[in-house]
Amino acid sequence: MSDPTTPAPSTSGISRRGLFGLAGAGVVGLGVGAAVDRFVLPPTASAQENAAVYPFFGEHQSGIVTPAQDRLHFASYDVADISRDELVELLQDWSAAAALMTQGKEAGQFGAVSGNYDAPPDDTGEALGLPASGLTITIGFGPTLFQTADGTDRFGIASRRPAALVDLPHFPADMLQDALSGGDLCIQACSDDPQVAVHAIRNLSRIAFGRANIRWSQLGFGRTSSTTKAQQTPRNLFGFKDGTANIKAEDTGVLSDQVWASGSDGADWMTGGSYLVSRKIRMTIETWDRTSLREQEAVIGRTKGEGAPYSGGTEFSEPDFAATGQGGAPLIAKDAHVRLSHPDQNSGAQLLRRGYNFVDGNDELGRLNAGLFFIAYQRDPREQFIPIQMNLAKNDAMNEYIRHVGSAIFAVPPGAHQGGYVGETLFGA
């Protein structure tokens, strides 16, 4: 097995289009063999800060069960009027560049400063001198890549759209903006350095010039989930611990059941992949900040300090939904968030969350435009996110303090093998 810190050179190259006039991603992809399962590998370390390095190649794409990093740059793309072959070339170019950047290297064969002095550099240069900082790059395919809203099968793949890649329904109280929703492709770049994450999206967007353009994007900070048992539970902008009961990388049985797609699900090319749902959730911060601590805790169903369920115990104590207080009222209210989102209330369905806080300045009334950029991975949104969110949308006391303004769903293919590209199981079969 290859050493994940010493990637082997690849013989696969970037397309001529990626190199010619587009400041392409380079002619080599770096990584480890397909047998490497990245979530069980600890990151390599050096004396430098933020020196974690995660392999790009492997059984699953990185950035799903990888230890959640502190920063996010997420981008959704619309694909231009291009051919199937050109789309495949784009995915090849993206994969080659991602394999370089996740190892802390510059995008492209010549990088930011070593190429032709009279040509645009292969790399934008703002990450020069910075380590990999735990960068992961995850690529997904939206429903409209398979078939447009008017029924057009642009790339001859409509028949291979997974049944689980559904169009999300309109949930009660949704206030979705088209400019913040949907997309043909997505890239999730996570890192412990915001400049490294932005550098990744910037360079992948440059490589896509003429083939795909950003539809919407989102910067995030302060992870709102823990994806390994070694990580402490972080807090969201309401001040509460978020993601206490999240699926962890060590829960391999749960991952197999709840996160990783299987060939038995009906789409063989998605085996080892997952389904990503993103929701941009704006928090009415000013209203929440004028709400009593008692009310805040009742809405969540947990204490604000320890994060313990209202039924008692510590943060990781299992909530007792049958426990009652004075007058026989349940200690955890029937409309409390922790009750309605719990697997016991949703036929056992769970989600692997990788959300982030965001602050996008302020609105015209001087209120903070802030909240949670929710990201969840799952095996089948029809059985997981959709029923869970419908339950929350109809009954959750938190709805008084939040607004869902953006939404998207993507099929995230399995990881690529060294020398291959993300999406090869779909386009190469």
Tell me what pLDDT residue 396 has: 98
CA distance 60 to 52: 18
User: Helices in 3-52 by DSSP H: which ranges?
Assistant: 16-19
Res 30 pLDDT > 50 = no
What are 328-354's pLDDT values in tens digits?
999 999 999 999 999 999 999 999 999
Share of the chain above pLDDT 90, in %: 87
What are 318-330's pLDDT values in tens digits?
999 999 998 999 9
> Is residue 110 assigned to a domain?
yes
Tell me what pLDDT residue 429 has: 62
Res 23 pLDDT > 90 = no
> Is residue 207 assigned to a domain?
yes
What are 404-418's pLDDT values in tens digits?
999 999 999 999 999
Average pLDDT of the chain? 90
> Is residue 342 assigned to a domain?
no
> Is residue 28 assigned to a domain?
no
> Is residue 333 assigned to a domain?
no
Q: Do 211 and 85 contact (CB within 8 A), yes or no?
A: no
- Please tell me the total count of domains within the chain: 1
For Cα atoms 124, 128, 129, give the angle at the middle one, nearest 5 degrees.
Answer: 175
Q: Do 211 and 82 contact (CB within 8 A), yes or no?
A: yes
Q: Do 243 and 234 contact (CB within 8 A), yes or no?
A: yes
**Confidence band of 49 (pLDDT split at 50, 70, 90):** low
Tell me what pLDDT residue 367 has: 95
User: For tokens 């200690």, what's the residue?
Assistant: 331
List C-alpha distances in Å: 71 to 41, 193, 218, 389, 404: 21, 6, 11, 25, 21
Tell me what pLDDT residue 51 has: 78
User: Helices in 227-312 by DSSP H: which ranges?
Assistant: 252-258, 285-289, 293-300
Rg of the chain's alpha carbons, rounded to an integer?
A: 22
CA distance 338 to 54: 33
- Widest pairwise Cα distance in the chain: 79
**Residue 151 burial by Cβ neighbours in a 10 Å radius (0-12, 13-18, 19+):** exposed
CA distance 376 to 277: 5
CA distance 54 to 43: 6
Res 8 pLDDT > 70 = no
> Is residue 294 assigned to a domain?
no
What are 154-200's pLDDT values in tens digits?
999 999 999 999 999 999 999 999 999 999 999 999 999 999 999 99
Res 24 pLDDT > 60 = no
Residue 121: give the domain boundaries. Answer: 71-283+350-427
Among 9, 61, 17, 67, smallest CA distance to 36 is for: 61
> Is residue 356 assigned to a domain?
yes
> Is residue 274 assigned to a domain?
yes
Q: Is the dihedral of CA 403, 408, 413, 417 positive or negative?
A: negative
Among 28, 33, 32, smallest CA distance to 44 is for: 32
**Confidence band of 295 (pLDDT split at 50, 70, 90):** very high
Among 17, 88, 90, smallest CA distance to 428 is for: 88
Q: What's the start-to-end Cα distance of the chain, in Å? A: 26
Res 2 pLDDT > 50 = no
Residues in the chain: 429
Long-range contacts for 268-271 (Cβ within 8 Å, ≥24 apart)? 268/425, 268/429, 269/160, 269/413, 269/425, 269/426, 269/429, 270/162, 270/164, 270/411, 270/413, 270/414, 270/425, 271/414, 271/425
Among 333, 226, 236, smallest CA distance to 282 is for: 236
